[in-house]
């Protein structure tokens, strides 16, 4: 469908393991002062002086986390980096380095890996992270991407999941649900393509949703925005697994309850119309969808005036006593207990 | 064969993703002062004060890097950690933390993952590294393990691959080739088992070789040993990919040549007799075998007296001008050009 039909196919076995690694990694340039030694030794060497270091890692598996039928490899490389940087942003830290390990079956020609690494390099440049190491090997089946992201922060800046307090306001960045509906659109087009490979899909009505799914961005700007507003969140988490699930994490670790307001959820008009087209309840998707890579955080009530009306942030609820539980307050003003459905890769 | 036939089988889908992660990671205890926050947030938080940080990562794929027919899961977990720590040792640094990501197909019951994590935890305790994060997800096929190791060192201690000088002595720790022959023995027993599942293998004559393959150790002691001898290597690398291949790496990055002496290669008597049994040339295996996880380093000629006769170290050659090339000097005193055959996962 959207897949690039690369005309040239060079077998990766021709280059050998070391040749392949050299070929794919020579494009990476180190720009972070904290990178003393990048790719090319047994390990990379970093220097963070007085800063604290944050580390996060993610594993992406073909057929579980992505489908190459509609995910172009360059986008996949970009997204794999973004997903990890989002976790660093969720600590209120600044991403500085990544390691990238790849396993591929021999059905992938060199040109496919070049596309993937071009996407990785684009994200590395966009987010100003150095690619300092990794591993490239073969898989028995499909493509596997493992990325570890490293970031830095002053100790006083770091925001954990466990600092939310009763009466804190619950805030989310951007809008939610769009990435999930983008996936539904792509899945539907894949079915259509399987039935009729000559169909020409018109995806104009879905561009925002598809972009949210195929080319998400990490909210590296939030750290700067909050700093300028003189707000330090009391807790923060990224909502890659879905809003509902992440609220449960914050509440559990902070030992608080939460009221989330249905009428406050920030959703895009395109998202609403596509939910209607698919006959899916938009609130259900908005709170359970996942993959939006926005940040969810809590702030002290006193910070309300600083954040009010800011287009980057939406206040969607407030924290309560733990004993009150975690609820969605619907438009009809009824309270429904939230469940951490999240995105359960293991059930699929 | 050696595989544990666990009687109890709990489906991992029952626990869900978060439940599974909680269950498997609750055994990990942080003991490193540099670990401020381990598992349980978007990212771990580390503090190395004035130390430099070293980072290395490896990806292990079932059917490519290991075979569960003869690799017990607990050993596999242990080895996966050791392999990464060996890279940190090769920088002359001290391993302090690891992240562990796992992808499994649903043929693995919970008990299998418990075995794997028990091995990971055993290695973490043995090497005093904190397990500070990771990812657990499903795979389409087989088991995938991705580990990132983090270590610390003073800047002056760190040894790179590119510092070898002409006339430097080439030194290797321990003995070589045994892990490769251990694998040959295990592969042969697997064939026997496939033909006759009731055969009772007698592996007494192979215990050392099998242990080198199934339960290798990283040479964390070398850093201390060299420090006590007041030797700082000029270059260092771990020889997981085979001696020949790693010598080529050192020479290329240091811009020197090398003469390696066949009669100096440290090999175990059991290794020699099993090579004879398999009718394989022991020198070929010793220089190309791989997976020994010993360290290879160069030292100044002046340090010869300090290291001479030390049972931990064997001087196996010396560096030359780059233009002289990289050669094996045989017992018959002929010079054969070395090739970096290494362990090429992509060709298999």
The residues, any chain, with a CB within 8 Å of residue B58's CB and separated by 6 or more, are A101, A135, B80, B83, B84, B87, B146, B147
* pLDDT tens readout for residues B163-211: 999 999 999 999 999 999 999 999 999 888 888 888 777 888 899 999 9
Q: What is the pTM of this model?
A: 0.90
pLDDT for B203 equals 86
Taking residues A23-34, what's their average pLDDT? 86
Spell out which residues of chain A touch residue B49, defining contact as CB-CB under 8 Å.
50
Spell out which residues of chain A touch residue B17, defining contact as CB-CB under 8 Å.
342-346
B44 vs A48, A54, A63: nearest CB: A54
Taking residues B313-338, what's their average pLDDT? 96
Check: CB of residue B294 under 8 Å from CB of residue B222: no
Q: Say if the Cβ atoms of B346 and A106 lie within 8 Å.
A: yes
pLDDT for B344 equals 43
pLDDT for B4 equals 47
pLDDT of A343 higher than 60: no
* pLDDT tens readout for residues A265-290: 999 999 999 999 999 999 999 999 99
Check: CB of residue B265 under 8 Å from CB of residue B286: yes
Spell out which residues of chain B touch residue A107, defining contact as CB-CB under 8 Å.
none
pLDDT band at B63 (very low <50, low <70, confident <90, very high): very high
Residue-wise over B203-214: b if at least 16 C-beta within 10 A, else e? eeebebbbebbb
pLDDT for A24 equals 82
Taking residues A313-318, what's their average pLDDT? 98
Q: What average pLDDT does chain A have?
A: 91
**Euclidean distance between CA atoms B144 and B146, whole angstroms:** 7
Q: Say if the Cβ atoms of B55 and A47 lie within 8 Å.
A: no
pLDDT band at A341 (very low <50, low <70, confident <90, very high): low
Q: Quick one: DSSP state of residue A62?
A: B
Spell out which residues of chain A touch residue B36, defining contact as CB-CB under 8 Å.
52, 155
**Euclidean distance between CA atoms A248 and A256, whole angstroms:** 10
pLDDT for B57 equals 94
**Euclidean distance between CA atoms B44 and A172, whole angstroms:** 22
Question: 10 Å Cβ neighbour count for B163?
Answer: 18
Is the interface score ipTM higher than 0.95?
no
Q: Say if the Cβ atoms of B97 and A55 lie within 8 Å.
A: yes
From A289, A63, A264, A278, select the one nearest A176 (Cα to Cα).
A289
A to B CB pairs, distance under 8 Å: 236
pLDDT of B347 higher than 80: no
User: Is B302 labeled as ligand-binding?
Assistant: no
Which of B13, B33, B148 to mutate: most A Cβ within 10 Å? B148
pLDDT for B124 equals 95
User: Is B281 labeled as ligand-binding?
Assistant: no
What domains does chain A contain, in order, with CATH numbers? 32-151 (3.30.1330.10), 166-335 (3.90.650.10)
pLDDT band at B341 (very low <50, low <70, confident <90, very high): low
Taking residues A83-94, what's their average pLDDT? 96
Q: Say if the Cβ atoms of B42 and A347 lie within 8 Å.
A: no
């Amino acid at each position: 469908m959207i897949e690039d039909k690369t005309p040239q196919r060079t077998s990766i076995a021709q280059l050998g393991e070391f040749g392949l690694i050299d070929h794919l990694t020579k494009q990476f340039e180190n720009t972070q002062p904290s990178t003393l030694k990048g790719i090319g030794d047994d390990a990379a060497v970093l220097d963070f002086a007085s800063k604290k270091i944050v580390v996060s890692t993610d594993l992406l598996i073909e057929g579980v986390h992505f489908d190459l039928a509609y995910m172009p490899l360059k986008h996949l490389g970009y997204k794999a980096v973004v997903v990890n940087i989002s976790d660093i942003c969720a600590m209120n830290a600044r991403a500085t380095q990544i390691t990238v390990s790849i396993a591929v079956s021999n059905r992938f020609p060199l040109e496919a890996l070049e596309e993937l690494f071009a996407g990785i390099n684009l994200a590395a440049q966009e987010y100003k992270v150095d690619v300092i190491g990794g591993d490239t090997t073969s898989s028995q089946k499909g493509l596997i991407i493992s990325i570890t992201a490293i970031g830095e922060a002053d100790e006083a800046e770091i925001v954990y999941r466990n600092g939310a307090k009763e009466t804190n306001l619950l805030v989310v960045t951007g809008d939610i649900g769009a990435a999930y509906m983008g996936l539904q659109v792509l899945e539907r087009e894949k079915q259509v393509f399987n039935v009729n490979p000559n169909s020409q899909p018109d995806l104009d009505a879905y561009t925002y949703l598809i972009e949210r799914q195929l080319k998400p961005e990490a909210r590296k700007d939030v750290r700067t925005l909050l700093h300028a507003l003189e707000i330090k969140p009391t807790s923060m988490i990224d909502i890659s697994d879905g809003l509902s699930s992440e609220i449960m994490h914050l509440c559990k670790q902070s030992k608080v309850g939460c009221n989330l307001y249905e009428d406050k959820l920030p959703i895009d008009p395109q998202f609403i119309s596509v939910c209607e087209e698919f006959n899916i309840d938009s609130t259900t998707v908005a709170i359970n969808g996942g993959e939006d890579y926005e940040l969810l955080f809590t702030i002290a009530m006193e910070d309300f005036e600083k954040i009010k009306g800011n287009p980057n942030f939406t206040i969607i609820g407030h924290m309560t006593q733990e004993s009150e539980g975690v609820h969605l307050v619907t438009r009809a003003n009824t309270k429904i207990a939230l469940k951490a459905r999240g995105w359960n890769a293991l059930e699929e």
